[in-house]
Amino acid sequence: MRPRSKCSYNSRMLSHSNAFPPIGSKWRDADRRAKRTVQVVRLDPETKRVRIHCIETDILSWAKPERFNGTSRGYIRLTDPDKRR
């Protein structure tokens, strides 16, 4: 029998970090220095990347799905104004 690792992790958090954001969702960069709003346009499960479109600059780029978590090093989800009514 293998000895147990001293490292522990929260399995729910681990699975959540690998979740992809929905296609079409809009996000704001949490870094206050950056004025950037992105929209998710494609998911690539093989490479574990998210294709994003920067609305302000009209540039396509790739991002890690872990960045869509609402923390200071990621993106914060924008609410859809039509869904608030």
Kindly report, residue by residue over 47-85, the tens digit of the pLDDT: 999 999 999 999 999 999 999 998 888 999 998 655 544
For the chain, give every domain's residue range.
Answer: 11-78
Q: What is the pLDDT of residue 51?
A: 98
The single-letter code of the amino acid at 53 is H
pTM here? 0.70
Q: What is the CATH number of domain 11-78?
A: 2.30.30
Kindly report, residue by residue over 13-42, the tens digit of the pLDDT: 334 445 899 999 999 999 889 899 999 999
Give yes or no for residue 11 having a pLDDT over 50: no
Average per-residue pLDDT for the chain: 81
Q: Which residues of 12-21 are buried (b: 16+ CB within 10 A; e: fewer)?
A: eeeeeeeeeb
User: Residue 45 class from Cβ within 10 Å (0-12 exposed, 13-18 middle, 19+ buried)?
Assistant: exposed
